[in-house]
Amino acid sequence: MHVEVFIIYLRFDLRTLDVNGPEDEEGIRRATELIHSMIETEVKAGIPSERIILGGFSQGGALALHSALKCGRPLAGVIALSCWLPLHRQFPGNQFRIFPKNMAALGNKDIPYLLCHGDCDPVVPYKWGLMTASLLKQFLPKFEFKAYRGLMHSSSDAVSLYENKLSLLYFRVYFCYP
Q: Residue 46: which region, alpha, beta or left (left: phi > 0; alpha: psi -120 to 50)?
A: left
155 is catalytic: no
User: Exactly one of 66, 82, 88, 121 is catalytic; which is it?
Assistant: 121
Residue 18: active-site member: no
Instruction: Look up 153 and say whether it is catalytic.
Output: yes
| Cα–Cα distance, 159 to 141 (Å, whole number) | 26
Given 58, 66, 88, 117, which residue is catalytic? 58
Tallying the residues shown for the chain, one arrives at 178
Helical axes 59-70 vs 25-44, angle rounded to 10°: 70
Catalytic residue among 24, 49, 153, 167: 153
- Give the Cα-Cα-Cα angle 74, 30, 90 (nearest 5 degrees): 65
Residue type, 174: Y
> What is the distance between the alpha carbons of residues 132 and 143, in angstroms, rounded to a whole number?
11
Enumerate the active-site residues. 58, 121, 153
